Structure 1
Amino acid sequence: MSDTKHFPVVAFAALLVGGMAIGFAGIFMRLSDVNPIASAFWRMALAAPFLWVWALAVARQDVADGKRTDFTRGLVLAGVYFAADMALWHLSLHTTTVANATLLSNFAPIFIALWVWFAHRVRFSRIFIIGMSFALVGAVLLVGPNASGGGHGGGSKLLGDALGLSSAVFYAAYQLVVKDARSMYSTARLMAWSTTITGLALLPFALLSPGDFWPAQAAGWMPLLALALVAQIGGQTVIAYALAHLPASLSSVSLLIQPLTAAVAAWLIFAEAIGPLQMLGGALLLWGIYLSKRGS
């Protein structure tokens, strides 16, 4: 039997695991005592040495496999797009509710689907579109109960919402660039370069932002190290591997598991209640991901 219809189960499982790992990013950021953009910088700065050790360790294997080891525009774009995504999302957290910022930043599937349709004239199956719709509605229901109130003034809150939505555009661009770059580079080298470039791009903003840049105590490094190891290495790196084996549209929809993970983690760690509407949203989100997988 031809294996052209074979679905890359391992890559899909890795994508979901990576998405769940990134779902903890907000938890670790809340536990840190540095300013939000500084926490994003330290996430990159602490992860980069581990990734470079890995990249250098597999350099010979990269050459044997025909992978590139030089520096190209794709590596720069991956780092810059991800830096823009992180900076805009963290800024949106200051001017709108956490729920709004989280929800709007996860609208990347819409922008990826629009780009794939516009640039490549890809036509999506009906079941994929239904699945993506279910997943997005589920994400809205999951975060929606917390999206009203607790924010800033009308104008500032609107600006924060715009920043959150803008971060989704750059996250979509990042995913598309990484998917293309993974055909040329190994996961190790791609993530070592993109993480380093992201960190360098974030550094001046982290230094200029209000709040502490350095942790006040030794214990303050623990959440930052967790951001590096869990969110960046265990999350973005695993996702970069999966993107080489999955359609960009399916990958983006599946990454909506992030707000579900964040909601469950906040319930377990901070005792933030999950109501019936949020439970329904979580169920719809998972069902939507399953339908999108079937329709890919």
Structure 2
Amino acid sequence: MSSASAVTASQRAAQRLALAALVLGALAIAFSPIFVRLSEVGPTATGFYRTILAVPPLWLVWRFRPADAAPRASETSWGIPPLGVLLIPGLLFAGDLFFWHLSIKYTSVANATLLSNFAPVIVTLGAWLVLREKITSSFLVALLVAFCGALMLVGASFRLGGDYVFGDLLAFTTAIFYGAYMIAVAKLRGRHGTQEIMLWSSLVSGLALLPMVWLMGESLWPATLQGWAILFGLAWISHALGQGLIAYALGHLPASFSSLVVLVQPVAAAFFGWLWLGEGLQPLQIAGGAVVLIGILLARRAQLKG
């Protein structure tokens, strides 16, 4: 086997592993609306615990990381010291969580998840402008197909009344913050390991959200042990595991494609909402989930080689 073909085989294997991590990460964060709904503290306090409680396991992973996973440079391509740059995803994720957790209190799980996942539009634009990714017409078609499926997914439960508009606007604001967060992580993954990015961004997010808990007048203490278990589940499953896997994948896959694959989340969240929260799941929504998956498959063919 020639060296060129060996490199190609290695790249394909890395892409397959990253794709598996991306899908598993999306499924893990799909549990987050359930945890947020069941949380015994307010939405901002829930976001605070989501990041802060994830710091200890993330620190352990970072502390015992392989030697080849250490940072590869002392300065990023933006010319800013690493600590300064690593603040950026943390602050963006804090904004994402603040609006996302708040939106779940005012709209359905399916609505909140769909509207917050308009992030692929933000990411695609950012990937083209900031990361210099090539965005093909085939990928744009795949993006349109996936969003048509996502619209079908929530079409049966979508409401335009006053009870839903506020929550829907909050969820859409989340998309802006999360899209910017994914671009920042993708940019940083060129010079920083997944462990380092997740540890610092989680710590910064938690510290940024703590004063917001006080400003929102929320209690910091769950009333029961079950309430603590829910918060630990949110922090360890949805954040440390889910966001960690997505951050890993962003180092090996195009950001535009990765953001589209994360649309697996609203499909899974709608199913989990039906299973545990009693939210309706109609035939149109099931068909919409299938269309989302078709869009992802089309995007894979458009963006990935092999």
| TM-score normalised over the length of structure 2 | 0.87
**2: CA distance, partners of 1:120 / 1:193:** 22
The amino acid across from 1:138 in the alignment is G
**1: CA distance, partners of 2:172 / 2:277:** 26
**1: CA distance, partners of 2:213 / 2:18:** 34
**2: CA distance, partners of 1:219 / 1:158:** 31
Q: Tell me the alpha carbon deviations over residues 124-163 of structure 1, each in whole angstroms, 9 at most, x when there is no partner.
A: 22321111111111111112211216752xxxx5444333
Does the 8 Å contact 1:37/1:87 carry over to 2?
yes
Does the 8 Å contact 2:110/2:269 carry over to 1?
no
What displacement does 1:229 show?
Answer: 1.1
Does the 8 Å contact 1:141/1:277 carry over to 2?
yes
Does the 8 Å contact 1:97/1:150 carry over to 2?
no
**2: CA distance, partners of 1:242 / 1:288:** 19
Does the 8 Å contact 1:134/1:287 carry over to 2?
yes
| Matched residue, 1:196 | 203
1:66 matched to 2:77? The reply is no
| Matched residue, 1:135 | 146
Q: Tell me the alpha carbon deviations over residues 52-83 of structure 1, each in whole angstroms, 9 at most, x when there is no partner.
A: 122122275545x7365984322100100111
Residue 28 of structure 1 is aligned with which of 24, 32, 35?
Answer: 35
1:92 matched to 2:95? The reply is no
What displacement does 1:24 show?
Answer: 0.4
CA 1:265 to 1:99, structure 2 compared with 1: closer, same or farther past 3 Å?
A: closer
Question: What does 1:92-241 correspond to in 2, within 5 Å?
Answer: 92-119=103-130, 122-148=133-159, 152=163, 157-241=164-248
CA 1:120 to 1:246, structure 2 compared with 1: closer, same or farther past 3 Å?
A: closer
CA 1:123 to 1:51, structure 2 compared with 1: closer, same or farther past 3 Å?
A: closer
- Secondary structure of the residue that 2:53 maps to in structure 1? helix
**2: CA distance, partners of 1:284 / 1:224:** 33
Does the 8 Å contact 1:68/1:185 carry over to 2?
no
CA 1:119 to 1:177, structure 2 compared with 1: closer, same or farther past 3 Å?
A: closer
Does the 8 Å contact 1:29/1:36 carry over to 2?
yes
Does the 8 Å contact 2:131/2:187 carry over to 1?
no
| Matched residue, 2:78 | none
What displacement does 1:231 show?
Answer: 0.2
% same residue: 42
The amino acid across from 1:253 in the alignment is L
**1: CA distance, partners of 2:64 / 2:152:** 45
Does the 8 Å contact 1:62/1:68 carry over to 2?
no
CA 1:162 to 1:150, structure 2 compared with 1: closer, same or farther past 3 Å?
A: closer
The amino acid across from 2:279 in the alignment is E
What displacement does 1:121 show?
Answer: 6.0
**2: CA distance, partners of 1:191 / 1:142:** 31
Does the 8 Å contact 1:128/1:291 carry over to 2?
yes
**2: CA distance, partners of 1:98 / 1:75:** 30
| Matched residue, 1:283 | 290
Greater alpha carbon shift after TM alignment, 236-245 vs 88-97? 88-97
Structure 2 runs not aligned, ≥5 long = 76-80
Q: Give the aligned length.
A: 291
The amino acid across from 1:201 in the alignment is A
